[in-house]
């Protein structure tokens, strides 16, 4: 895979949020993309040797459990609408995070919680759903048609300086505002880390300034990320070499030139630390069901730092699963399961019934309109800052919206062909159930910790206040059918050598 190199040929590295040393390998401003392409190419090599069989355009709709073991999945062929059953000795989910429950996020539009939630409904525990990461450097929302938020790479904060006008409602063009009237609030509040303060802290600081009336742009929900000083210091060519593609992308979206005027940025949902509960072998509480990557809850605790999703990809996919799945296969008696096994037929019928039910509502509102509404509810009450009364209120609102969804959603066309509305309808139905669990978890956790900030629990200077005595546990939730409250299972966090402390970025 590609990595930027020094002139002498060794790997280049740079600094990232939450770190004060340059220790992160990178590839221009598209590290994640090159990782993806590298992984894709390695996979296609296995496809060519016949070790991997690829089923593109398929979506998992049900997990098949036989004698308590995960033994297969039911998928829908998105190109033809046909349901397919695949039986197996074990199931490995690597289906990503649930950030799109907020509708607007930096995730790809197709990302969803369905595969994980279908497993949760069959008994897999869902852990720490309230830990959601809000990334500080995204392009702000421009209108209610907005479909997606674009991340400006965190690497920009190596050279960009974040500021807002010191005077509330200052509408002058940024280059007309002298340095003495600018508030470089990250450098002011966190002098040692400055613009490279961690994501959650930077995001909350931006929200705090905007809430106080210092935000910029049409909506007042944005702050400046300014490269003026870096360009003066290093020259435009050096800045272009490092960030050219990001500046280009910003220019495409906003029609503004970040070489000449500062970028406007605002926080957006970017990553979800919560996910299906797994043990050290990455197996969920359903034997034979393994969960890897963002889909599980492990590795990042309450907050993920820059570049560490790669670390999880390596540890889960490279160091752990190749060794642990063999143990399950070797030590478990696995009778042959065929597609006509009653459990397979039942799972397939469940998936089919659900499609029929969604198609049958024939209401008035589009799937997207419901999804937007759900996302706004969560963003307002369970986004960057949360409190008890807001969470209690939003749980009720989510339930009402879910009831309305099943009475009034409109899915046109047929289930037996390519139908993107139907695909979205199934995902949003699951988001509607999952959103409630997210809010319940946020309500239960009466402390501020990582990506979860409860306004009632903060220090006098507005920093997160943890409560290790009462909440030093993983909250693993067990789904209950029939609309009953989920059951909380606490997995205590035991620290034998290193004691939890509060890291100061000041």
Cβ(305)–Cβ(17) under 8 Å?
Answer: yes
Contact 450, 131 (CB under 8 A): yes
Q: Could you tell me the smallest distance in angstroms from the CB atom of residue 390 to another protein?
A: 29
As measured in angstroms, the least distance from the Cβ of 10 to another protein is 5
Which member of 20, 22, 142, 480 binds another protein (CB under 8 A)? 142
Helix (H, G, I), strand (E, B) or coil at 270: strand
CA nearest 181: which of 219, 211, 208, 216?
216
User: Is 40 a binder of another protein (CB under 8 A)?
Assistant: yes
Q: What are 489's two structure tokens? A: 């299972």
If one asks whether residue 30 binds another protein (CB under 8 A), the answer comes out as yes
Stretch that binds another protein, among 68-76, 176-184, 325-333, 414-422 (CB under 8 A): 414-422
Window 216-255: residues binding another protein (CB under 8 A): 217-218, 248-249, 252-255
Interface region with another protein, contact rule CB under 8 A, candidates 103-111, 383-391, 460-468, 469-477? 103-111
22 binds another protein (CB under 8 A): no
Q: Considering only residues 45, 388, 490, 506, which one is a binding residue for another protein as defined by CB under 8 A?
A: 45
141-149, 208-216, 389-397, 496-504 -> range binding another protein (CB under 8 A): 141-149
CA 272 to chain CA centroid, Å, is 4
Q: Does residue 56 interact with another protein by CB under 8 A? A: yes
Distance (Å, rounded) from C-alpha 329 to C-alpha 281?
13
Under the binding rule (CB under 8 A), the answer on residue 261 touching another protein is no
Q: Considering only the stretches 157-165, 190-198, 382-390, 416-424, report the one whose residues sit in contact with another protein under the rule CB under 8 A.
A: 416-424
Q: Does 315 bind another protein (CB under 8 A)?
A: no
Other C-beta atoms lying within 10 Å of the C-beta of residue 78: 18
- Residues 6 or more apart in contact with residue 80 via CB below 8 angstroms: 416, 417, 418
What is residue 334's three-state secondary structure?
coil
Contact assessment for residue 81 and residue 417, using Cβ atoms and an 8 Å cutoff: yes
Specify the 3-state DSSP secondary structure of 153. Answer: coil
Q: Does 147 bind another protein (CB under 8 A)?
A: yes
Q: Are 290 and 322 in contact (CB under 8 A)?
A: no
Spatial distance between the Cα atoms of 447 and 465, rounded to a whole number of angstroms: 6
CB of residue 6 to another protein, shortest distance in Å: 6
**What is the CA angle 334-339-341, rounded to 5?**
70
Shortest approach of another protein to residue 487 CB, angstroms? 36
Query: For binding to another protein (CB under 8 A), which residues are involved?
Result: 2-12, 25, 27-28, 30, 33-34, 37, 40-42, 44-45, 47-48, 54, 56, 79, 106, 108-110, 142-143, 145-148, 150-151, 217-218, 248-249, 252-255, 318, 322, 366, 368-369, 410, 412-413, 417-421
């Amino acid at each position: 895979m590609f990595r930027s190199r020094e002139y002498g040929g060794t790997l280049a590295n740079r600094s990232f949020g939450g770190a004060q040393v340059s220790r992160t390998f990178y590839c221009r401003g598209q590290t994640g993309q090159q990782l993806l392409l590298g992984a894709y190419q390695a996979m296609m090599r296995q496809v060519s040797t016949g070790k991997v069989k690829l089923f593109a355009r398929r979506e998992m709709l049900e997990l098949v459990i036989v004698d308590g073991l995960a033994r297969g999945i039911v998928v829908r062929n998105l190109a033809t609408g046909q349901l397919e059953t695949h039986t197996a000795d074990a199931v490995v989910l690597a289906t990503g995070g649930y950030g799109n429950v907020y509708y607007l996020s930096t995730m790809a539009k197709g990302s969803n919680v369905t595969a994980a939630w279908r497993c949760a409904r069959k008994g897999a525990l869902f852990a720490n759903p309230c830990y959601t990461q809000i990334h500080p450097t995204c392009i702000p929302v421009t209108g209610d048609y907005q479909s997606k938020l674009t991340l400006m790479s965190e690497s920009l904060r190596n050279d960009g300086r974040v500021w807002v006008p010191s005077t509330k409602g200052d509408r002058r063009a940024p280059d007309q505002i002298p340095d003495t009237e600018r508030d470089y609030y990250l450098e002011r509040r966190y002098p040692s880390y400055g613009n490279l303060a961690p994501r959650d802290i930077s995001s909350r600081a931006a929200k705090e300034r905007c809430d106080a009336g210092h935000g910029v742009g049409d909506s007042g929900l944005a702050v400046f990320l300014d490269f003026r000083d870096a360009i003066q210091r290093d020259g435009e060519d050096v800045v272009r070499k490092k960030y050219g593609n990001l500046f280009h992308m910003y220019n495409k979206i906003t029609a503004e030139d970040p070489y000449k005027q500062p970028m406007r940025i605002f926080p957006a949902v970017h990553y979800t630390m919560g996910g299906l509960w797994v043990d050290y072998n990455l197996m969920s509480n359903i034997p034979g069901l393994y969960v890897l990557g963002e889909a599980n809850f492990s590795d990042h605790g309450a907050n993920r730092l820059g570049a560490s999703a790669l670390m999880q990809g390596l540890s889960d996919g490279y160091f752990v699963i190749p060794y642990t799945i063999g143990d399950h296969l070797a030590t478990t008696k696995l009778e042959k399961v065929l597609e006509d096994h009653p459990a397979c037929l039942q799972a397939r019928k469940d998936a089919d019934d659900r499609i029929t039910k969604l198609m049958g509502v024939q209401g008035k509102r589009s799937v997207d309109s419901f999804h937007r509404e759900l996302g706004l509810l969560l963003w307002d009450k369970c986004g960057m800052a949360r409190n008890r009364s807001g969470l209690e209120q939003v749980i009720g609102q989510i339930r009402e919206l879910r009831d309305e969804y099943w009475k009034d959603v409109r899915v046109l066309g047929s289930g037996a062909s390519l139908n993107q509305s139907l695909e979205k309808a199934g995902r949003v139905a699951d988001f509607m159930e999952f959103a409630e669990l997210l809010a319940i978890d946020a309500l239960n956790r009466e402390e501020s910790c990582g990506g979860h900030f409860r306004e009632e629990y903060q220090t006098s200077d507005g920093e997160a206040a943890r409560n290790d005595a009462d909440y030093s546990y993983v909250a693993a939730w067990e789904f209950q059918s029939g609309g009953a409250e989920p059951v909380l299972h606490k997995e205590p966090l035991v620290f034998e050598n290193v004691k939890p402390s509060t890291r100061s970025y000041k």
